[in-house]
Amino acid sequence: MKSLITGVAGFIGSHLAEKLLSLGHQVVGIDKFLNNYPRDFKERNHAGFKSHPDFLFLEEDLLRLDLGALLRDVDYVFHLAALPGVRASWGAEFARYSENNIMATQLLLEACKSLPLRKVVYASSSSVYGDTDDLPMREEGMTRPVSPYGVSKLAAEHLCYLYWKGYGVPTASLRFFSVYGPRQRPDMFFHILMRAVLRGEPVPLYDDGEQSRDFTFCSDIVDGLTAAAFYPGSGEVFNLGGGTEASLLTVISMVENISGRRANLQRHDRQRGDVRRTQASTERARTRLGYIPRVGLAQGLALEWEWIQSIEG
């Protein structure tokens, strides 16, 4: 089996590459090293498998690649490449989000439409639901994003559906809920929190801290990605949540207990695009994909704290 991963040097992409290599896949990984966080951080993500005999790395831009030639003998496509971030997606920056999140997805799907692929798995986001009181969030529920980033992810979901409907491209879209764990991006809250606690620096806290999220450990997300790839159905959307909704203040308290240190909270106003709660219904993923999150929040936080210490030491 041969798999293509876009965004392979990222947080989730690097974990997925390791999993597929362990399953005996040949893996082609693409990353263009967007400047949303330091390159050396991403280089470290894939250093452990970059020299694997079944891994080929390409530093390329999807918008400029000969995708037809690249995909010719590929069985599975995992499309994780995107420009992330809710708060940074406003104003003139939306042009970059449109290019990297929407146009790149359309070009990839266009290249896939005449190929005998087994599955194209697209990494979407819980941001497509917006700020809703209709909880738990269900795949058939209303999608009303409250950030340009969420709009871009939902648009790419629609592209996956229409290429399945129009051309039979075997797609699956997965809505990730607040992924955390080792290799988490340095602009994500758990990483910011733990780094600040370790260094004795202020922790920026937006809103009152009572906002809550359905947090999902990275290995559970990878299990969901592979389950969706091997699932025989197509044209569907699945939530991947961790089954643990917790407030930010609860998480801060847990990190304080794990680290034995106090967090110095620095309060800020709520930001545009932030939502109050997320909570995933994972019934569809459980019944059709066999998806069962296995890493609880306390265990996952402890694992990320160990990793933070290792890179900051």
Cα–Cα dist 225/238, whole Å: 10
Average pLDDT, the chain: 96
Annotation says 149 is catalytic:
yes
Domain ranges of the chain: 2-177+218-241+281-293
Q: Which of 149, 161, 231, 291 is catalytic?
A: 149
pLDDT of residue 268: 92
Q: Tell me, what amino acid is at 244?
A: T
Residue range 114-132: average pLDDT? Answer: 97
Cα–Cα dist 34/46, whole Å: 15
Residue range 4-29: average pLDDT? Answer: 98
Is the pLDDT at 107 greater than 90? The verdict is yes
The pTM of this model reads: 0.97
**133 CB neighbour count, 10 Å cutoff:** 6
pLDDT of residue 263: 97
Q: What is the pLDDT of residues 183-242, one digit of tens each?
A: 999 999 999 999 999 999 999 999 999 999 999 999 999 999 999 999 999 999 999 999
CATH topology of domain 2-177+218-241+281-293: Rossmann fold (3.40.50)
pLDDT of residue 313: 72
One-character DSSP codes across the chain: -EEEEETTTSHHHHHHHHHHHHTT-EEEEE----TTS-HHHHHHHTTTTTT-TTEEEE---GGGS-HHHHHTT-SEEEE------STT-SGGGHHHHIIIIIIHHHHHHHHHTTS--SEEEEEEEGGGG-S-SS-SB-TTS----SSHHHHHHHHHHHHHHHHHHHH---EEEEEE-SEESTT--TTSHHHHHHHHHHHT-EEEEETTS--EEEEEEHHHHHHHHHHHHH-S--SEEEEE--SEEEEHHHHHHHHHHHHT---EEEEEPPPTT--SB--B--HHHHHHH-------HHHHHHHHHHHHHHHH-
Percent of the chain topping pLDDT 90:
93
pLDDT of residue 3: 98
Residues 6+ apart with CB under 8 A from 47: none
In this structure, the strands spanning 244-247 and 212-217 are antiparallel
Is the pLDDT at 137 greater than 90? The verdict is yes
Q: What is the pLDDT of residues 21-58, one digit of tens each?
A: 999 999 999 999 988 888 999 999 999 999 999 999 99
Q: What is the pLDDT of residues 255-306, one digit of tens each?
A: 999 999 999 999 998 888 789 999 999 999 999 999 999 999 999 999 999 9
